[in-house]
Amino acid sequence: MVTDQEIKKSASSIIRAKKVVALCGAGMSVESGIASFRGRGGLWEKYNPEEYGHIATLQNKPEKAWIMLREMSREIMKAKPNRGHLALAELEMLGRLSSIITQNVDGLHHVAGNKNVIEFHGNMQSVVCMKCGDRQPSIEINIDDSPPRCKKCNGAFKPDAVFFGEAIPSDALNHSHFESKTCDLMLVVGTSALVYPAATMPEIASSAGAEVVEINPEATPLTGSVSDYILRGTAGEVLSRVVSRVKDLLAAGR
């Protein structure tokens, strides 16, 4: 259980900081019912994401890649933002959150109302034909097809997400570097910090002098090295408490 003292400490850091950036991972959406990579339960225990989610599998055996993509799309379509997403949206509205760098592909930060979201690994909201490049909203295609195919040329569709073996789009990478280098507080929420290059962002922030605060029930490779401290709780619980404290401090004029 995260103590009130710890919540107050991070709320005060947010109030003091000139620029706050959040780096989020799959743990952010666990309370929305979307399983993380390395967590228990859910589809990631059935499929090795580094195999089913590799670009070579999608190109050579699209029907195999879509077995996992279909289940993931269904989970995402059902999911709603949790109180952690809503707390980050509120923090942005209060003018206390510059941007979110998210590794998630579920689009839930946008649904929650955040405007400044860098989707480091793209998203699952649209698909692109791997043959002719035609782009369609995911809700327009039949995900039960094996694999879903383009009506124009019969090519297989690829979600607009970044697959294993693919490079991060340069816009997202450059923007994330800039945000990490120029913030003075980085909140690292629900990421195991094992997937590169996203995992380098806290190091970039810390090297540039920023305070780095993790929110995660479990320790990560950043804990005790790159991060200044960790609030060991879930994103929903901790972020809602922190943001409520930020509002109290703002109301008290501190």
Positions in 103-142 near ligand NAD (CB under 6 A): 103-106, 121
CA separation for the pair 173, 162 (Å, rounded): 12
Query: Using the rule CB under 5 A, is 155 a contact of Zn ion?
Result: yes
Contacting Zn ion (CB under 5 A), which of 150, 161, 183, 199? 150
Q: How far is the CB of 165 from ligand NAD (least distance, A)?
A: 13
Contacting ligand NAD (CB under 6 A), which of 36, 114, 138, 227? 36
Q: In terms of Cα–Cα distance, which of 170, 139, 169 is closest to 157?
A: 139
Query: Using the rule CB under 5 A, is 228 a contact of Zn ion?
Result: no
Q: Which does 99 bind (CB under 5 to 8 A by kind): ligand NAD, Zn ion, none?
A: none
* Residue spans of alpha helices (H) in 127-222: 170-182, 201-207
Window contacting Zn ion (CB under 5 A); options: 20-28, 111-119, 123-131, 211-219: 123-131
Under 8 Å CB-to-CB from 192, ≥6 apart: which residues? 25, 27, 36, 37, 38, 218, 220
Under 8 Å CB-to-CB from 18, ≥6 apart: which residues? 184
By annotation, the residues acting in catalysis are 121
Q: How far is the CB of 170 from ligand NAD (least distance, A)?
A: 17
Contacting ligand NAD (CB under 6 A), which of 4, 51, 140, 218? 218
* Residue 53 · residue 163 · CB < 8 Å: yes
* Residue 129 · residue 224 · CB < 8 Å: no
Q: Note if the bond before 217 is cis, omega within 30 degrees.
A: no
> Residues in the site for ligand NAD, rule: CB under 6 A?
25-27, 29-31, 34, 36-39, 103-106, 121, 190-192, 194-195, 216-218, 220, 234-235
> Residues in the site for Zn ion, rule: CB under 5 A?
129, 131-132, 134, 150, 152-153, 155
